Amino acid sequence: MRDLELSVLDLSPVPSGSSTSAALHETIELGRTVERAGYRRMWLAEHHGIPSVASSSPEILIQAVAGATSTLRVGSGGIMLPNHSPLKVAETFRALAGLHPDRIDLGIGRAPGTDPRTAIALRRSREALTADDFPEQFTELRGYVDGLPADHPFAGIEAMPNDVPLPPVWILASSYYGGQAAAAFGTGFAYAGHFGGADPGEATRIYRQQFRPSDAAGAQDPHVILAAAVMCSEDAERARAMGRAHSLSMARLRTGNPGPLPSPEEAVAHDWSAIELQVEQGMASKMTAGTPDEVRADLERRAQEADADEIMIVSPIHDVAERRRSYELIADAFGVTGATADRAAVASV
């Protein structure tokens, strides 16, 4: 099995009893933490109108986290392309690449990242909500950097600044279509293993078999990221309690009763309905919770089954100290370069 790389996906979770703006500041602190721990990259999500998630503008958070760190790759996980003008996305990420050379990633998704009513508010029409034009949007996005055909209505328009490349592009997915699209466009592929309904191994097989390198995409090699919900603690029962709190948050969201991220104590005290228990059961295969050794073994198994090059960890944990510690423990368990040494150096200052 290849050596696994570790990265982070952050949604700026909003714990009960806290505020959404505090969650944004915690994302910046988490960026500093995972950089010290030796993680390769940190991506910021785009969600709208969800009480447990404060990350609605990943491009703003990318700038904030990149400015607070120096070696961490920072990107979008992702920009939901149908919510935006392709030209504006190209401009924004060229600007980020100019400000932080060789440190920015552009992850792109198709879903609205919200409920249908909010999606209409974002896209300004019901027709845009049902349009099936992602390939055209993606081609237009690349065209503002690489040039559009002469007969295209926007030919000659260029995304500024024009002296930096578009960052490496990834297509995000929770279905098989995303693997097909990433293969066709020659981009990296990130599968949402923390909630996706497709088989990750089959999605990856489709991607690797159909991958076609593209000069327009920077001639990227095929690369698979598997996102995973992970809760890690020295105390196995505490880790599982944190995982159950995350399951309750997902159950509330899927049953139309979203709220802030509950604490493990709130999850214990909660009177779970039959539907919520079904959601919890369905989440079990998508979440890893346990001690560092247990987490490493399970993530290695999942990565092998999915033929993934990289695990991207999302840890919506109520207590911010436990959340940061979870990431540190995982890095140590995998022997990520500099994880222990860098923290020791910081502690000695």
pLDDT at site 126: 73
State the Cα–Cα distance between residues 261 and 51, nearest whole angstrom: 8
Structure confidence by residue, pLDDT tens digits, 17-57: 999 999 999 999 999 999 999 999 999 999 999 999 999 99
Mention the CATH class of domain 5-234+289-343: alpha beta
Place of tokens 């960026």: 31
The more confident residue out of 176 and 129 is 176
pLDDT higher than 50, residue 348: no
pLDDT at site 128: 65
Q: What is the mean pLDDT of residues 145-174?
A: 96
Domain residue limits, the chain: 5-234+289-343
Structure confidence by residue, pLDDT tens digits, 225-249: 999 999 999 999 999 999 999 999 9
- Percent of the chain at pLDDT > 70 equals 93
pLDDT higher than 70, residue 1: no
pLDDT tier at 346, thresholds 50, 70, 90? very low
If 0-12 CB within 10 Å is exposed, 13-18 middle and 19+ buried, where does residue 43 land? buried
The pTM score is 0.93
pLDDT at site 219: 52
Structure confidence by residue, pLDDT tens digits, 189-224: 999 999 998 999 999 999 999 999 887 655 578 999
| Lowest mean pLDDT, pick from 122-136, 253-267, 305-319 | 122-136
Structure confidence by residue, pLDDT tens digits, 56-96: 999 999 999 999 999 999 999 999 999 999 999 999 999 99
pLDDT at site 93: 98
